[in-house]
Amino acid sequence: MKNRANSSKRPSQSGDASPPAGFFPKWLNINVAIQDVGFFLVGLIAALVVGWIIFPAVLYSKQAQPINFNHALHLNPDKVDGIEGEKKEEKCSFCHEFREDGTFAGIPRLAKCTECHEDPGSPLGETPEEKDLMTRYVATDQQIPWLVYSKQPDCVYFSHIAHVNMGKIACDTCHGDFAGNEKLPLYLENRLTGYSINIWGKRISGFYWNKKPSDRMKMDDCAECHTQMGQEQNNACFVCHK
């Protein structure tokens, strides 16, 4: 320690970047301070790499969807005829409809697909994806076990009709442009909680410059929109946890 302290007082001969003697007060041992800052930065960077890159990579496991479903293709009237509705959101309700009692049907059952994909012997197109649909599900009359990206834990009560019809909130606000997808996004399951990355969001830090509801859907995110839309009365525990 003593030696270092001495050497920092000597004016630098080799012209390196150490500051000139006398510039900093004597009690501040500048070389040691620079070293400490250096160690701190190395430690900080290592912690950030572990926390933001390694931890998320280990935390999530990839799960395959049963088959691909191409939203963009089915919503293109030049390719698929018979999805009723003028505007985009009317087309959604051909498959994602509200039942008479106001409950949301969610992901359509196989019967919706077989309105068009009815005969395993004569597919509508020529792709291997459709063949897969025909042989594995239509021919055997089995439901397709889709994984739901936005699935909340069972203790959470969420109703689409309140948000879509009464709140007049567009599907894209919460789900992003999901219906523009040709390929299903990768489903990443959180090993600790069992639900998908869409709930916690892609950024483990939880920090976004301009956060949208479609970025993540934790309890605070639901409440944030309620507050913004003047719906504070819906931020009482029992409203979302019945």
For 66-130, give the DSSP string.
Answer: SS---HHHHT-TTT------SSHHHHHHHHSPBPTTS-B--SPPHHHHTTTS--TTS-SS--HHH
Q: Does 240 bind ligand HEC (CB under 6 A)?
A: yes
Pick the piece of the chain touching ligand HEC (CB under 6 A) from 27-35, 39-47, 55-63, 107-115: 107-115
Q: Does 98 bind ligand HEC (CB under 6 A)?
A: no
Query: How far does Cα 18 stand from its chain's mean position?
Result: 47
Rule CB under 6 A: choose which of 25, 155, 209, 210 binds ligand HEC. Answer: 155
d(CA 137, CA 120): 9
Q: In terms of CB distance, is 8 or 117 closer to ligand HEC?
A: 117
Rule CB under 6 A: choose which of 115, 118, 119, 232 binds ligand HEC. Answer: 115
Rule CB under 6 A: choose which of 38, 51, 102, 153 binds ligand HEC. Answer: 153
Rule CB under 6 A: choose which of 33, 44, 48, 107 binds ligand HEC. Answer: 107
- Going by C-alpha positions, the residue among 156, 160, 157, 173 that lies closest to residue 211 is 173
- 118 to 147, contacts with ligand HEC by CB under 6 A? 124-125, 127, 129-130, 133, 146
Phi/psi for 189 (5° steps) reads: -100, 130
Q: In terms of CB distance, is 130 or 189 closer to ligand HEC?
A: 130
Q: In terms of CB distance, is 26 or 183 closer to ligand HEC?
A: 183
Pick the piece of the chain touching ligand HEC (CB under 6 A) from 16-24, 53-61, 101-109, 203-211: 101-109
In whole angstroms, the minimum distance from the beta carbon of 55 to ligand HEC comes to: 18
d(CA 52, CA 38): 21
89: CB partners within 8 A, 6+ apart:
170, 171
Q: Does 88 bind ligand HEC (CB under 6 A)?
A: yes
d(CA 21, CA 19): 6
Q: In terms of CB distance, is 30 or 83 closer to ligand HEC?
A: 83
Q: In terms of CB distance, is 164 or 197 closer to ligand HEC?
A: 164
Q: Does 211 bind ligand HEC (CB under 6 A)?
A: no
Size of the site for ligand HEC (CB under 6 A): 76
Q: Does 188 bind ligand HEC (CB under 6 A)?
A: no
Structure-token pair, residue 208 = 């976004």
- 7 to 66, contacts with ligand HEC by CB under 6 A? none
